[in-house]
Amino acid sequence: MSDLSEFEEMYLKRIFEAHFAEPGEIVRTTKLAELMEVSPASTTEMIQRLSVRDYVTYIPYKGCRLTSEGFKHASRIKRREELLKILLTDVIRFDGDIDSVACKIEHSIDENLEASIDRMLGYPERNKDGVMIPTVDRSMITSTTNILLPLSALPEETPSIIELINSSGVAIKTLENAGIKIGNSIIKKSNKFYCDGSEIAFSRELSFKIIVRVE
């Protein structure tokens, strides 16, 4: 469990974002203060505090850089934010301030919940703008049962049941006409899908919208 406060995590994430925008550059104290909407004096104090705990390297009168430990933690927070934005947009279809909500929730997610969201979303590699999402080591245990995941992430030879079709009425009707309905059994063999024993075909986009439960 992290020993950092939410505010400290926000500092690390902002340093990470500034580093991403200008790789190799020192993150200036004034720039970081602007991003955090606090005074340069407060920012300097926080940088020094994070430096003592080996999350950043403090360069007096200039700014800071993330240490390897700081980079690891900051990239994880950023990753959770990006996953939450996709969840809120594509699954929940939240029409409020997605950035603000994701920012609030990201600090409360642990590794298990992060892994579940990642799996549910089909292991996305890029955000909505096409930017790479910070990566982590994943281990997909195919024998795990009773988990929900998009059809796109279903391992080979793993029986499952269709639980949800997250799409429009027209798309759902098209799938139903093809024999793909909630409650039907579906399995992947040699990169082909079989629903109740019959081979079926649909777009890759739809495979992300069909949610199945591994048996």
Tell me what pLDDT residue 70 has: 95
Tell me what pLDDT residue 41 has: 96
Could you tell me which residues come within 8 angstroms of residue 119 by beta carbon, excluding any fewer than 6 positions away?
140, 147, 148, 149, 153
Tell me what pLDDT residue 50 has: 97
Q: Which segments in the chain show pLDDT lower than 70?
A: 1-2, 137-145, 168
In sequence order, the β-bridge partners of residue 88 are none
Tell me what pLDDT residue 1 has: 45
Q: What is the pTM of this model?
A: 0.71
Domain coordinates of the chain in residue numbers? 6-70, 148-214
Q: For the domain with range 148-214, which CATH number is right: 2.60.40.2230, 2.30.30.90, 3.40.309.10, 3.40.50.300?
A: 2.30.30.90
- CATH node for 6-70: 1.10.10.10
Cα dihedral 9/94/35/3 (nearest 10): 0
- Smallest CA-to-CA distance from 16 within 59, 80, 75, 60 is with 75
